[in-house]
Structure formats: structure tokens, C-alpha cells
Structure 1
């Protein structure tokens, strides 16, 4: 059983730390750099450390657990209702503290390094798919300006390529050249997506990425 709870508003340059009793009585407020925060928590009595879910929350949660603290992460949408004034680090830390002490509050499981690494792979694949879709739509839009209409979808890229490469293509030479470049990028991204798919088959699926 812990006597205190520390709520931390993470930021790139400085962290806002609010320390309170488990009953909610505020004991201390501090603004610390990442180095100072790590040093402070290494010397602090073991407590519950709470973060709002953000880019580095899982990393810092693991760091706190390594120091012997209990780490918890609250989804951002559950913290927002408790921000009473203008959004800043101090008010965010206060909101995290209040939210964490609600008996019905739901916390996010802290991800391991391996889980986060796998999530990076999934996001990278999604990014490639998004970029490829943008390229396909850009080529379709260009061809539409010259009277050529193609349905939405990757399955029609082959027909587009056949039009571009046809000896009797009725498109201006400059347009043909400008379409060849995104088509080459589409092919390259397709190969990279296939490589990601092979990698994803070798790793265990991670829920709630």
C-alpha cells in the first residue's frame, strides 16, 4: 500500500510534478527537467506515479517501475474533463491527479519495449499504405484532366500503367513523364508494404496498438 501519489505532466523540456496523499491532499509541486525528474523519483519514497497517455508515457512508466514505483497511465480523454482552467502543464498535472483518484477511473496497461517496437512496425505499414493511396489518387486526378477516368482502388494501377506506357498514348509527353514517377513510387511502396507484411507475420499481434 502506498501513502502518496505523484501525477506527472510530461513535456519535451520540463515535467510538472504534483505530489499528494492518496486521499488527495496536495503535498508538493515541482517543475523538473527529465534528468531532475529521474533523480528525484530515484530518491523519493515508493509511490503511485500517474501519467496521461502520450508519446513518452509508456517509456517513463517503465522507468518508474524500474525504480520500484507503481506506474499508471490514464487515457487522455479521461483526463480532459478534469482540466478546470486554461491548458498548461501545471493544470494538466492537477487534472491527472484528480482523475487518478477517481474510484471508477480506467487505466491503460503499460507497454513493454517489445510491445512498443511492434506497434512501430504496424504504424509504419499504415503510413506506407496511406502514402501509396495518395499517390494513386494523384495519378488518377491528373489523368482525369485529360479525359481518362479510372475507378478508385489499387487494383486499377495496372491499367493506368498500361495507358501511360502505350506507344499510342494520347497524353502529352510531359504528363507521361510526371505520371511515371508516382507509378514508380507506388511500385516501390508496394514492395515495402509486402516486406512489412512478412515481418508482421513473424511477430505476435498486439492488441490496442
Structure 2
């Protein structure tokens, strides 16, 4: 059993592997749970592993590379033309194995842990900005129902809130509203 190429179709809980020889013939296929993936690749002779680029692909690519394999990620739209028959996990894994050996195929570069950390910070920062804007708009809406109109903009809300919630100033807001 001379395995030269592996197609790995990643999923949340159960992934599918198709191992092919030099001629592209399937010599082994298997379903793997997350906990079995690294064990499987440590026992496998060093080969080319194709992975469809998805949410967990960068992590698995780095881990499988540590086992000595050459891992290449392929964007899903480049794998789709190679899927034969009905769509199922084994056919997807076979399509990945076929696509990874194409000479003109474009691959996704595997991100390092540092690159993923920076990306995560950007995503979380963007979410915080979105939440801040939504909260400010919500505050403006609640205050508008009380007859207090604050112009659009986060700075305007931040500027007006201290004076609106000052218990010493009578601005039409009830004591209950100011305390909660």
C-alpha cells in the first residue's frame, strides 16, 4: 500500500480521509473522529495531504505538518469541480486528493498561530465596535422615547450621558430611570 496523496475532508466531529497511490487509485479510506486524526497521520508514511480551507483547516494543517507531511490547503471553489457523483464526505475527500496534485492549482497559505491571533483580535475588535454602535443607538432610542434627542455619533452619546444621569439635574428623567 504505497500512499502518496491524502484528501482530508474536515468536519466538526467526524472527518473523512481518502488515501491514494501514485496512479490516483484509492488504497484506503476511513472516517476519523477529531481525537483520531493526529494518531492516524503519525502512523501514515510521509505524503502530500490536501485539506479544503475551512474554519479549522489552519490548525489541522499545522498539526499534520508537525507529523512530517506536506500539507496544502485548497479553497472550496477550486475543489468543487473535482467532486464526482453525489456530494458526500468521501467524494469530497477524493476530490481534495485529486485537486491537490494538479500542477496549476492555487493553494491557500497556512496561517501561523501569530497570524491567527492577530486575525482573532481584529474580528473581536470589529465585534466590539459593532456592539458599541448598537448600544449607543439603543440608548438614543430609549432616550428619544423620554423626549431627549441626542444627535447621531458615539461621541455625542458619551458626552451627554453623564449630565443626563446626574441625580442633581432635573432633565425630565425619573429617579428610577437614572438609577437603573
Q: TM-score range by the shorter chain?
A: 0.7 to 0.9
Moved over 4 A (4+): 80-88
Aligned length: 177
Distance 1:76 1:169 in 2: 58
| 1:69-89 deviations in Å (ceiling 9; x for gaps) | 111112234345555666553
Tell me the TM-score normalised to structure 1 length.
0.70
Instruction: State the partner residue of 1:15.
Output: 15
List gaps (5 residues or longer) in structure 2: none
Query: How far off is 1:163 after superposition?
Result: 5.1
Structure 2: distance between partners of 1:171 and 1:79: 60
1:142–1:110 CA distance, 2 compared to 1 (3 A): same
**TM-score between both structures, scaled by the size of structure 2:** 0.80
Distance 1:121 1:20 in 2: 39
Aligned CA RMSD, in angstroms, stands at 2.7
Q: 1:104 to 1:147 in 2, by over 3 A?
A: farther
Q: How many angstroms apart in 2 are the aligned matches of 1:170 and 1:102?
A: 71
CA distance in 2, matches of 1:84, 1:160: 62
Displacement after TM superposition at 1:32 (Å): 1.3
Q: Within the alignment, does 1:165 sit opposite 2:165 as a pair?
A: yes
CA offset digits 1:92-151 (Å, max 9, x no partner) = 323433443444432111112222222222222222212212211111121222333333
Task: Report the Cα distance in structure 1 between the residues aligned to 2:178 and 2:84, rounded to whole angstroms.
Answer: 57
The alpha-carbon distance between structure 1 residues 21 and 148, as it changes in their structure 2 partners (threshold 3 A), is farther
Higher helix share: 1
1:6/1:47 contact within 8 Å kept: yes
Equivalence for 2:67:
67
- Highest Rg: 1 or 2? 2
Question: Which 5+ residue runs of structure 1 have no aligned equivalent?
Answer: 179-209
CA distance in 2, matches of 1:7, 1:153: 51
